[in-house]
Amino acid sequence: MKLHLSGTDAVYSIEQIALTLFPERIPRYAAEPDSEGDRSETVLLPGRVETRIVLDGREALGVCPVEEKEGKRGVSYAVRTSFYRAALSFLPQKPLWGSLSGVRPAKACLVPAEKGVEEAERFLISRYDVSPEKARIAALAAVKAVKIRNGLSERDASLYINIPFCPSKCRYCSFITRAGADPALLEKYVSTLLLELEKLRREEDFRLVSCYIGGGTPAVLSPKQFERLLSAVRTLPGAEDAECTVELGRPELIDREKLGVLSSYGVGKISVNPQTLDDRVLALAGRGHTTEDFFRAYALAREYPFSINCDLIALLEGDTPEGFLTGLERLLSLSPDTVSVHSLAVKRASALEHAGGRGQVALTVGRAAELLCTGGYEPYYLYRQKNTADGSENVGWAKPGHASLYNVVMMEEIGTVYALGAGGVSKIFRDGEMIRRQNSKDPAEYMLRIAEQIHPDKKGQ
Ligand code: SF4
């Protein structure tokens, strides 16, 4: 689908909304207008934006006024909204997230959320045509984010440590992670993390409020490696009171020794991720563990005073809405403290077919939301990835008092996050500006760069 703009350069806005509403048509910006094929033409006119969409020979027009006082932002909004209004004629039903595109739905309503949940909900519904059930989820998350943000000072910072290694690669994985963690490489990687940690302590002035060790699969680390890493984290300013989370991930790697080390170093939150509670689906996904492994790891983890999170993915290949929801009910009977429900990101529209076609993932996550609400969980953070089936969201649900500070800070971009390790992207807030710093995604390259930064005299040797 070709997208053309006249009188405005809001290319990002038009591409985002087109990709969200028509993921299977692969929207592409075209510098020149076209009169053939599937296309859209968006024009900035005095006081309004008009978008004409032509799909399969059928045509529709969408119009949105431009609020002059909003400047460039107002034009971007009108571009997106005019496209959305035209697109409604081609969609089988109104999208649950309305015209809201982008990764962070709650971030879109942080300002009205200062006045409460209802105000944030009203804003999302009237400005973006978001459905009441999704507006509620985003508004609740936004209100939590505002509360956390108001309690943070500019010196407060979070730490993310990436362990981009896994015992094997899951078939659906879209992360940058290495399958088959070599012990010698892991040892060198942890040593490099310690160097980077020391560098951070020397160069930055901050007080740690949360630390999150994620991946990948951090459970590939040995008890000794966890000990090295966590004892270094504990020496950072503020660490004694900071929230500390380890996303252990794959249940088959979890044992008593590792859990004991985490607990003794002040880790309060861990993640043990079943993804689904159907062995057939796990095997198809190449997860390398069974539901039995999950129940064993979960029971073991419950022997320690951790707040436990469990991740699920709605409708992996071979799963059905009924199967997934039955699994969720089984999981809830264990009473995990937080549950994250993810919508699988699909690479091609055809990949939706395994889930019974369009609408099934949305239906499943909607029903999951009802079950979680009934079980006493509240949504506390959410995000949307590109190409999720049905444009569905990923939501973190928490029992009262168990929401992860780190997840909220990171997701809503309301405080500094220093990210260490290969692929780490730091977001540092200074004087109201956000500075991004990115480490190399390749572990070997990352280790080399850090060594060069610590010992510049040995560069190239
Ligand atoms: S455990 Fe997670 S990060 Fe590792 S391969 Fe599977 S999906 Fe990817």
**Model confidence over 406-442: pLDDT tens digits?**
999 999 999 999 999 999 999 999 988 999 999 999 9
446 inside domain: no
| Closest residue by Cα to residue 393 from 134, 46, 67 | 134
User: Do 122 and 156 lie in a common domain?
Assistant: no
What is the dihedral sign for C-alpha 84, 86, 89, 90?
negative
17 inside domain: yes
- The three-state secondary structure class of 205 is coil
451 inside domain: no
User: Do 84 and 216 lie in a common domain?
Assistant: no
Q: How far is the CA of 286 from the centre of ligand 1 (A)?
A: 10
433 inside domain: no
Which atom of ligand 1 lies at the shortest distance from residue 168's CA?
A: 5
User: Do 134 and 169 lie in a common domain?
Assistant: no
450 inside domain: no
Q: Would you state the pLDDT for residue 26?
A: 85
177: domain CATH number? Answer: 3.80.30.20
User: Do 20 and 129 lie in a common domain?
Assistant: no
Q: Would you state the pLDDT for residue 351?
A: 46
| Closest residue by Cα to residue 160 from 243, 273, 84 | 243
Domain of residue 268, residue span: 152-420
242 inside domain: yes
Q: Would you state the pLDDT for residue 424?
A: 97
User: Do 129 and 45 lie in a common domain?
Assistant: no
User: Do 158 and 281 lie in a common domain?
Assistant: yes
Instruction: Name 30's Cβ contacts closer than 8 Å, sequence gap at least 6.
Output: 2, 3, 4, 39
Is residue 127 within 8 Å of residue 97, measured between CB atoms? no
Which atom of ligand 1 lies at the shortest distance from residue 177's CA?
A: 3
- Domain count along the chain: 3
Q: How far is the CA of 175 from the centre of ligand 1 (A)?
A: 7
238 inside domain: yes
210 inside domain: yes
Q: How far is the CA of 178 from the centre of ligand 1 (A)?
A: 9
- The whole-angstrom separation of Cα 218 and Cα 181 is 11
- The whole-angstrom separation of Cα 87 and Cα 188 is 52
Query: Which residue owns the Cα nearest ligand 1 atom 3?
Result: 216
Q: Would you state the pLDDT for residue 459?
A: 58
81: domain CATH number? Answer: 3.90.950.10
Q: Would you state the pLDDT for residue 349?
A: 45
The secondary structure of residue 206, as a DSSP letter, is: -
Q: How far is the CA of 207 from the centre of ligand 1 (A)?
A: 31
Q: Would you state the pLDDT for residue 182?
A: 87
* Parts of the chain with a pLDDT under 50: 349-352, 461
- The three-state secondary structure class of 78 is helix
Which atom of ligand 1 lies at the shortest distance from residue 179's CA?
A: 5
Query: Which residue owns the Cα nearest ligand 1 atom 8?
Result: 173
Candidate from 166, 220, 340 with most ligand 1 atoms within 8 A of CB, to mutate: 166
User: Do 41 and 69 lie in a common domain?
Assistant: yes
User: Do 344 and 363 lie in a common domain?
Assistant: yes
